[in-house]
Structure 1
Amino acid sequence: MGKGRATIIGFGAILLWALLALFTVGSAPVPPLQLNAVCFAIGGLIGLVWILAGEGPKALRGIPLRVYAFGTAGLFGYHFLYFTALRLAPAAEAGLIAYLWPLLIVLFSGLLPGERLNRLHVAGAVLAFAGAALLVGGRLFGTGITITAGAVAGYALAFLCALTWSGYSVLSRRLGAVPTASVAVFCLATAVLSALAHLAVEDTVWPATGLGWAAMLALGTGPVGLAFYVWDVGVKRGDIQLLGTASYAAPLLSTLALVMTGLAVPDWRLGLAAVMITGGAALAARASATRKHTGLRSGRGARSLP
């Protein structure tokens, strides 16, 4: 598979993740752990089909147990926090805060050997976090808007969500390359773990309407299923820098999807915050790209994260 084709395949994940908030809201009132279990079971089945259509079970040979444990923890933690945040707080605001992960990936990359931050990284961080603060501040001080304790908890969980995925993405760089087939195991293990936790602490609640069922199935098939596989292909065989930069469009696309379906009310704060968060992440991406190109010209060969 060529680099260009792999990059195009990777773009599919960004489009699917833009629908994550929409389908999560539509799947209510299914509790977070139950939703995790159902969606990742669907995602795992997609992976099994992927494996059978390719190399077969031999594709999973030789993968260390620590890789499976790490991948499962990352997928389980991120989506549990995300689903819970969108159950507690307004979907558009919580979703945008959760989408700080592309920026945090760039910032955390400075902690890795051979990486460092520059002024554009810092400027991007300030701009993006100002956008997140505008969202919460608008709820706190906006005219006629009453913020609840649940919404505050939802915002906090959305931020933890961004920390979880960015930390997972950066730390995964140290585990080495593993075949895409391993994602199926991550999904199935996450489904089992989520189901056990659900049975222990939650009441089982299924969607009350056909639209709710459709949203849950679409969630498991796309944003919490196929997206992980095509993303894995893209970042391993395609243009990682281009895919990382393109991922910053996801917050805007996600917010637009919520507004167009009537699940979020158009508001100047929402629009401005979306531009600030996306713009801050783009600044950070530009800083990484500039450093990468400078390093190549000088013969240093500096690494860059998406």
Structure 2
Amino acid sequence: MTRTRATGIGFIAVLLWALLAVFTAASAPVPAFLLNALTFAIGGAVGSVAVTLRGRWAVLGQVSWKVYLFGTAGLFGYHALYFSALRLAPPAEAGLIAYLWPLLIVVFSGLLPNERLRRGHVLGALVSFGGAALIVLRNGADFDPMATPGLILAALCAVTWSTYSVVSRRLGAVPTDAVALFCVFTALLSVPAHLIFETTLWPETRLAWVSVLALGLGPVGVAFYVWDIGVKHGDIQVLGVASYAAPLLSTLVLIAAGYAQASWQLLLAAGLITLGAAMAAMASRG
């Protein structure tokens, strides 16, 4: 596989993640952990079929249990936080704050050995967090305090995924097939969490069921496999810059689907987050 082709495959994940917020909103009233269980079961099943057809189970048996623990913790933690955030806060606001992860990936990467945190990283961080502040404060000091827990969970979501992604870069020798088991274990872990903390609420409409299936096949399924291929075999800098378009695309999709209004504050916030992340990426390239 050529570097250019791998980069193109990885970019598919960016397009799929732009649909994560709208499918999550449309899947209501399914609670977060149940949604985790359903979607990751679908994503894990897709990967498991591919592993079986390719005869790769023996290879996965050689992967350290620590890798599976790490991958499962990253996927389970991120999505439990993400789905909960979108249930407790407006999907556009929560989604945009959660999409600070591309910027945090750049900043955290600068703290790795042989890397430097440059001035552009700091300036980019200020611009993007300014966009996040604009989202929270766009209605002044009278914004709904009931949404605060969801916005906090969205911020933790960004920290979780950025940490997972940066550490994953040090696991380049782990085959992409392992992502299938990450998904399966995440689904299994979500079941007891749902039974303990939530009331079972199944999708009530055909649209909600289709949204759950779409989540499992796309943003919570195929996206993780193609992203893994891209970051391990493609141009990681190009993919990093491309991922910064996801919050803007996600917001536009939410507006088109009727889950958010096209206010100037919301669009400006999306632009600031994207601009700040791009500034940080340029600093890394320099």
* 1:49 counterpart residue number: 49
Q: Does 1:77 align with 2:77?
A: yes
1:289-304 matched pairs, under 5 angstroms: 289-290=285-286
* 1:202 counterpart residue number: 198
- Cα deviation 1:216-253 (Å, max 9, x = unaligned): 11011100001000111111111111111100000010
- Tell me which of 145, 154, 164 is aligned to 1:148: 145
Q: Does 1:223 align with 2:207?
A: no
Higher mean alpha-carbon deviation, 48-57 vs 225-234, is at 48-57
CA contact (8 A) 1:241 1:289 kept: yes
Aligned mates of 1:139, 1:66 — CA distance in 2: 45
Aligned mates of 2:144, 2:200 — CA distance in 1: 28
- Tell me which of 242, 254, 260 is aligned to 2:238: 242
* Counterpart code for 1:254: S
TM superposition shift of 1:134: 0.5
* Counterpart code for 1:90: P
Unaligned runs of 5+ in 2: none
CA contact (8 A) 1:124 1:279 kept: yes
Aligned mates of 2:235, 2:114 — CA distance in 1: 20
* 1:4 counterpart residue number: 4
- Cα deviation 1:126-156 (Å, max 9, x = unaligned): 0000000000011344xxx65132x101110
Q: Does 1:258 align with 2:236?
A: no
Secondary structure at the aligned position of 2:45 is classed as helix
Higher mean alpha-carbon deviation, 158-167 vs 235-244, is at 235-244
* 1:64 counterpart residue number: 64
When normalised by structure 2's length, the TM-score is 0.97
Secondary structure at the aligned position of 2:203 is classed as coil
Aligned mates of 1:111, 1:241 — CA distance in 2: 16
Aligned mates of 1:34, 1:61 — CA distance in 2: 28
Higher mean alpha-carbon deviation, 199-208 vs 92-101, is at 199-208
Aligned mates of 1:157, 1:42 — CA distance in 2: 25
* Counterpart code for 2:129: F
- Cα deviation 1:100-137 (Å, max 9, x = unaligned): 00000111112211111111111100000000000001
When normalised by structure 1's length, the TM-score is 0.91
CA contact (8 A) 2:176 2:228 kept: yes
- Cα deviation 1:141-192 (Å, max 9, x = unaligned): 4xxx65132x101110000000000011112233442001100010000000
Higher mean alpha-carbon deviation, 12-21 vs 237-246, is at 237-246
Count, aligned residues: 286
Aligned mates of 1:62, 1:146 — CA distance in 2: 52
* Counterpart code for 2:237: Q
Secondary structure at the aligned position of 2:28 is classed as coil
Q: Does 1:271 align with 2:267?
A: yes
Change (3 A) 1:222 1:18: same
Q: Does 1:178 align with 2:174?
A: yes
Aligned mates of 1:77, 1:266 — CA distance in 2: 31
1:156-195 matched pairs, under 5 angstroms: 156-195=152-191
CA contact (8 A) 1:138 1:269 kept: yes
Secondary structure at the aligned position of 1:174 is classed as coil
TM superposition shift of 1:80: 0.3
* 1:284 counterpart residue number: 280
RMSD of the alignment, in Å?
1.1
* 2:27 counterpart residue number: 27
* Counterpart code for 2:105: I
Unaligned runs of 5+ in 1: 291-306
Aligned mates of 2:118, 2:143 — CA distance in 1: 39
- Structure 1 runs of 4+ aligned residues shifted over 6 Å read none
Q: Among the aligned pairs, what percent are the same residue?
A: 63
Aligned mates of 1:154, 1:57 — CA distance in 2: 39
* Counterpart code for 2:99: Y
